[in-house]
Amino acid sequence: MVRVGVVTFPGSLDDRDALRAVRIVGAEPVALWHGDAELHDVDAIVLPGGFSYGDYLRCGAIARFSPVMGEVIAAAKSGMPVLGICNGFQILCESHLLPGALTRNGGLRFTCVDQGLRILDTSTAWTSAYSTNQEVVIPVKNGEGQYVGDAQRLYADGHVVASYLGRNPNGSVGDIAGIRNAKGNVVGLMPHPEHAVDALTGPSTDGLGFFTSVLSSLVGA
């Protein structure tokens, strides 16, 4: 069975939802611990949302140097699928696994909405279950989710995975909601697909695709 690890840092909030999403799509969820420099034979990794280390210094700046991250960075560089959601996206940028940075929302307010997104790139390990330009609704909730980076280059290279539809919730350059690395195994996403996997608790089940994608990419491999 495909094993998908979810790292819990002190201050992670969405690790349980991410583990649940992994279970719903039929993979084996594996809880990973920030202080444990060990990936327990997982096939893919999710860095969940939350406020790791209280967002001290900068969001993700302390988590990036936690013991488990040395292993995550090495695995990501060797091609293992890694998805960073919200705080996880911030950690991936701080780790230089993804370009750019995430800063305080343009409007200064914490934002929490069911957000329309357009999936632009379906070539990644995490988005192959979607169709190009598919419109989805997935919650976004952040205080420091304003993506800053070279949007023109990211679009030209096809590295923008998802963009905001309608209202831009945080002032991200180029309406960027998510990006990927050149290989396509590392994806960072501000919205929370793990909160959109069950009609009872989410606005849709549109988030399931991120988890089914990685499952099929690993089973097919």
Q: Report the catalytic residues.
A: 86, 192, 194
Pick between residue 110 and residue 131 the one whose CB is nearest to other proteins: 110
Residue type at 64 in one-letter notation: R
CB atoms within 10 A of CB 41: 8
Contact 4, 47 (CB under 8 A): no
Interface pick for other proteins out of 13, 73, 101, 113 (rule CB under 8 A): 101
Structural tokens at position 11: 């201050």
Q: How far apart are CA 193 and CA 94, in angstroms?
A: 21
CB atoms within 10 A of CB 152: 10
Interface pick for other proteins out of 26, 35, 38, 57 (rule CB under 8 A): 57
For the chain, the straight-line distance linking the first and the last C-alpha, in angstroms and rounded, comes to 13
Q: Does 93 bind other proteins (CB under 8 A)?
A: yes
Q: Does 105 bind other proteins (CB under 8 A)?
A: yes
Q: Does 73 bind other proteins (CB under 8 A)?
A: no
Interface pick for other proteins out of 5, 100, 178, 207 (rule CB under 8 A): 100
Mutual orientation of helices 15-24 and 208-220 as an angle, nearest 10°? 60
Applying CB under 8 A, which part among 12-20, 27-35, 53-61, 206-214 lies near other proteins?
53-61
Binding mask 12-51 for other proteins (x = CB under 8 A): ----------------------------------------
Interface pick for other proteins out of 3, 23, 73, 106 (rule CB under 8 A): 106
What is the torsion angle, in degrees rounded to the nearest 10, for the CA atoms of residue 129, residue 209, residue 154 and residue 45?
-110
Interface pick for other proteins out of 52, 115, 127, 146 (rule CB under 8 A): 146
Q: How far apart are CA 20 and CA 82, in angstroms?
A: 17
| 169-208 binders of other proteins (CB under 8 A) | 171
Q: How far is the CB of 58 from other proteins (least distance, A)?
A: 6
CB atoms within 10 A of CB 84: 30
Interface pick for other proteins out of 43, 71, 94, 175 (rule CB under 8 A): 94
Structural tokens at position 90: 């911030």
Pick between residue 59 and residue 85 the one whose CB is nearest to other proteins: 59
**Ordered alpha helix ranges (H), the chain:** 15-24, 67-77, 87-94, 151-156, 208-220
Name the site residues for other proteins (rule: CB under 8 A): 57-58, 61, 65, 93-94, 99-101, 103-108, 146, 148-149, 171
